[in-house]
């Protein structure tokens, strides 16, 4: 029996993710307080023939972290381990929440270059599934990794960077939990800077016609389209000299409550109860928006609270296919009986060099579709996925999709490189589960 905080915590406790669409009943749950305890937990599980998965805050919508074996909660492995200002890097323990990292970096006058739109996840969970924001030149959080350490299936700690185990580094920055359990990550950081955000309502036809222009002219461009309407809300984030000029109380309420939380929760609950009301609600909600401009430090501009629970599918398309695919999505919704109360989110990323990144080797644009928690989503997601896959789309590893290894091998040129590395690092599939069997093959 292991001792200390790595010891068995619960017998047959059911785990579920943030959205509530995934559950698992592990044989035991461990919360290692040190890398040594994690190594011992992995070795012991392997000896017992149990599989091991680490789980962050459960913000994935897939079963990537689900297991009937040993569930590892890494939250005790948290905090900044070192800062190298000369190299422009920070090393953090894998269980560190992005919100804690962002605040700690800001206190030291530092920042990540780009972020996703929430910061509840652990750094290892976010990077392992490919969490990203939007950027013309700056890519996903995983693309900002300069080094990492992971515990492999035999209980060893493997250090990886461009110089040390580079073939593992190329893959493990976004490893979907298949190569080992990440224990520490070294990120590139830069001196704290200001972003000026400009939000502006815009017609669907205009934003799609001008999409390439907006991407070219802005460091970070994204927009939301409200189904059942021709209305969008655009957001452009660009660096500025400051000073900070955060949103006023009224506009902050509109963004954080009307669009994201309290009022939005009520609107979605009404839409779930009375689906016929959704188009009218969408028209009112999309017209409630007005243009606003504000300036703040990066994480306060990139991220926002998300209290309304939902289920999400997101695909990365070749950027040049985005507008055509989005127009097809709108046409499909317009002619269908579907009632969609959540806006569709569109973002971009430059090509990167990570083996299974959704932007690996190609400039990408993302289309994310959402449905309110508890609302049937299969018909909408199936129809959307048919459009996305017709354009060579790559599903986000942490969001709902139905793709398997055969499909994914066709859209990832380096897919075989990843699976060969997995065979070498984890031949007995200590870190396997049903999701990885589907997406990576047996």
352-384 confidence digits (pLDDT tens) = 999 999 999 999 999 999 999 999 999 999 999
The confidence score (pLDDT) of residue 289 equals: 77
Let me know: does 426 contact 178? Beta carbons within 8 Å: yes
Q: Provide, for the chain, the percentages of residues in helix, strand and coil under a 3-state DSSP scheme, each rounded to the nearest 5.
A: 35, 25, 40
Q: Give the mean model confidence (pLDDT) for residues 105-132.
A: 97
285-318 confidence digits (pLDDT tens) = 777 778 899 999 999 999 988 888 999 999 999 9
pLDDT-derived band at 256, boundaries 50, 70, 90: low
Question: What is the residue whose two structure tokens read 């091991």?
Answer: 52
Q: Is the pLDDT of residue 178 over 80?
A: yes
Say which residue, 54 or 8, is predicted with more confidence. 54
56-85 confidence digits (pLDDT tens) = 999 999 999 999 999 999 999 999 999 999
Q: Is the pLDDT of residue 8 over 90?
A: no
């Amino acid at each position: 029996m292991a001792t200390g905080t790595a010891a068995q915590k619960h017998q047959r406790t059911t785990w579920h993710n943030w959205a509530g669409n995934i559950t698992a009943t592990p044989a035991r749950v461990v919360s290692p307080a040190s890398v040594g305890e994690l190594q011992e937990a992995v070795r012991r599980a392997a000896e017992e023939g149990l599989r091991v998965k680490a789980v962050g805050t459960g913000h994935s919508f897939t079963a990537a972290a689900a297991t009937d074996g040993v569930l590892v909660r890494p939250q005790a492995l948290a905090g900044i381990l070192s800062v190298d200002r000369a190299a422009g890097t920070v090393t953090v323990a894998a269980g560190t929440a992005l919100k804690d990292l962002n605040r700690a970096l800001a206190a030291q006058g530092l920042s990540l270059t780009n972020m996703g739109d929430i910061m509840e996840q652990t750094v290892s969970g976010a990077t392992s599934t490919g969490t990203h924001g939007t950027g013309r030149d700056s890519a996903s959080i995983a693309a900002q990794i300069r080094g990492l350490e992971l515990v492999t299936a035999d209980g060893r700690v493997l250090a990886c960077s461009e110089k040390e185990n580079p073939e593992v580094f190329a893959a493990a920055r976004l490893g979907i939990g298949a190569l080992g359990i990440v224990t520490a990550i070294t990120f590139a950081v830069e001196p704290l800077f200001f972003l000026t955000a400009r939000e502006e309502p815009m017609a669907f036809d205009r934003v799609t016609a001008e999409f390439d222009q907006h991407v070219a002219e802005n460091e970070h461009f994204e927009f939301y389209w409200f189904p059942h309407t021709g209305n969008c809300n655009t957001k452009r984030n660009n660096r500025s000299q400051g000073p900070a000029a955060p949103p006023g109380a009224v506009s902050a309420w509109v963004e954080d409550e009307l669009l994201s939380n309290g009022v939005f929760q009520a609107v979605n609950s009404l839409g779930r109860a009375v689906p016929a009301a959704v188009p009218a609600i969408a028209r009112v909600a999309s017209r409630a928006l007005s243009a606003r401009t504000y300036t703040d430090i990066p994480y306060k501009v990139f991220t926002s609270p998300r209290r309304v629970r939902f289920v999400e599918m997101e695909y990365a398309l070749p950027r040049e296919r985005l507008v055509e695919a989005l127009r097809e999505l709108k046409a499909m919704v317009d002619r269908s009986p579907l009632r969609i109360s959540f806006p569709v989110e569109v973002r971009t990323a430059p090509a990167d060099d990570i083996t299974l990144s959704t932007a690996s080797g190609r400039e990408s644009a993302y289309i994310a579709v959402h449905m309110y928690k508890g609302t049937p989503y299969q018909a909408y997601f199936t129809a959307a996925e048919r459009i996305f896959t017709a354009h060579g789309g790559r599903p986000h590893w942490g969001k709902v999709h139905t793709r398997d290894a055969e499909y994914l091998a066709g859209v990832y040129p380096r897919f075989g490189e990843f699976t060969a590395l997995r065979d070498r690092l984890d031949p007995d599939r200590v870190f396997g589960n049903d999701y990885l069997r589907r997406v990576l093959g047996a």
